[in-house]
Amino acid sequence: MGTEGGNVRVVGGRYRLEARIGRGGMGVVWRASDTLLARQVAVKELGVDETLSEDEARQQRERMLREARAVARLRHPNIIVVHDVVLHDEHPCIVMELIGGGSLADRTARDGPVDAVEAARIGLALLAALRVAHAAGVLHRDLKPANVLLEPGTGRVVLTDFGIAQVEGATTLTETGGFVGSPEYTAPERMAGDRAGAGADLWSLGALLCAALSGESPFRRDSLGGILHAVVYEEVRPPAEAAPLLPVIRGLLEREPARRMGLDEAERLLLAYLATGTTPRPALSRMPYAPIRREVPGLRGRRISTRVLLVAAALVAALAGAALAVALLLAHRDDNAPSGPTSSAPGVSRTATASPSPTPTVTVTRQETRTPTAPPGYRTVADRKGFSLAVPEGFTRSLDGPRVLYTSPGRTFRIGIKLSAVPAGGPGAAQRRAAADGPRTNPGYRDGKVTDTSHDGHDAALWEFTWNGFSAAEGARHTLDLCWREGRRMYDVWVSGPVGRIDQARAYFDAAVDTFAPSATE
């Protein structure tokens, strides 16, 4: 079992947690030191549903450990190495190799989309990883750019985060019946609630290749309902940038699993492209992908059925719950918005509780002491206004009245900070006043939501909304805004970014809130 001393936590008797480096739907990832072998590792703590009975929770932990150990048996250069699986404070922990550098999502956000040659190289590496996983009966089920690591120096492509993987014949690493995964990259058969085979991972690969080439999934929409409709029903329209690899992408994004391009054929076409610069036409006789289990009937041309609508309702309900609510709660508020609370940071675990009022209450319990340590690709700034926080490399500082702004080149992403006296009614009242004034301060203001929460033990409120941006050229934007009270001060941190790049805005928001610290004189 792990021990705790001061701010240091030791998991499994040997893994000393040093800094949180990520968070996903299934848990928190830490950079840690293996004190026995004197090496750096990554430790992922998997969350256990606290609402389960003692017996149900025990069964869930056992299932998580059993399936995590099955994933640990996978061995391939393009699959993250799992060193150990332990139980700490009743939470399963997966100990993995630590990969320097960032993810494919980080790379495209920082440097823009990759070219077709690089996309083909990444695609081949992921196909090799899936071949090994599927042969062992393991489905990944959350293949997306954020789960693809790119090792600096070597160019190695590493598939990570098997935290929601499914082992053949077993339930998932989450509770039975719960939806897991990222809707923009989720196969239509899974969206429809049908049983999905290994071909679902290949659909996700097709969407991932589109995102690598263009910067976003072809199924990205402004709402969960819009994403569901796009995945299950709308005509699939790969971006123009996908043209060099279009035969592969169209084959992988075939809605009917039985007609979807198989792993062998996708690999053949990508190899041919790298060798000749041209992607040959698919061999139709080689298209079907042999499933781990039966594939479900196709969805091509099917109207959205009652079952699909029920799945959509379940997804929306899930988003109101603890796990997926976090994703919505991480939308920040715009730089032109009045001060108010925003969502909690990556080092915070959030648990939503049902509330009869229009505004739900979220209880936030911080799992570690805030630290200004900047994650890779960020730098810590000590601002003369009386605070420090981590901002991405290349962001520049400016002032907008009492607000401090750190903006990316071209002002695509904006991080805003405001310090003020505590207003009447505290964070919640301040955010609601700002939301009520939203149509005046933010052109095209819509989908506004204020959620009472807490941050580092302090009263807080999160405001999230979409708006049209300051000009037609700028386009629609999404804002996440967290405001909290510490002593006699109100701290407000927000991030805004393009609607089509909400995930990246959330990542910047997480880092800003997680590393924010008032100056000692504050």
Tokens of 468: 């049209």
Interior angle at CA 141, CA 477 and CA 478, nearest 5: 5
**Smallest Cα–Cα separation from 188: which of 178, 173, 199?**
199
Please list the alpha-helical segments (H only) found in 321-421: 322-329
Interior angle at CA 22, CA 82 and CA 31, nearest 5: 55
Given the structure tokens 């009652």, which residue do they identify?
Answer: 306
Q: Do residues 467 and 477 make contact, with C-beta atoms less than 8 angstroms apart? A: yes
What is the dihedral sign for C-alpha 80, 82, 85, 88?
negative
Distance CA 224, CA 183 (A): 8
Residue 164, phi-psi category: left (phi > 0), alpha (psi -120 to 50), beta (remainder): alpha
Distance CA 70, CA 33 (A): 24
With residue 138 as reference, give the H or E element that holds it: strand 138-139
DSSP 513: H
- Of 106, 142, 335, 510, the active-site residue reads 142
Distance CA 374, CA 331 (A): 21
Distance CA 51, CA 323 (A): 13
Given the structure tokens 């196969």, which residue do they identify?
Answer: 187
Q: Do residues 109 and 410 make contact, with C-beta atoms less than 8 angstroms apart? A: no
Tokens of 387: 């605070």
Three-state SS across 156-179? CEEECCCCCCEECCCCECCCCCCC
3-state secondary structure of 417: strand
3-state secondary structure of 277: coil
Distance CA 83, CA 94 (A): 8
Longest dimension (CA), the chain: 71
**Smallest Cα–Cα separation from 359: which of 462, 256, 456?**
462
Q: Do residues 453 and 329 make contact, with C-beta atoms less than 8 angstroms apart? A: yes
142 is catalytic: yes
What percent of the residues of the chain are helix, what percent strand, and what percent coil, each to the nearest 5?
35, 30, 40
Residue type (1 letter), 146: A
Q: Which residues are catalytic?
A: 142
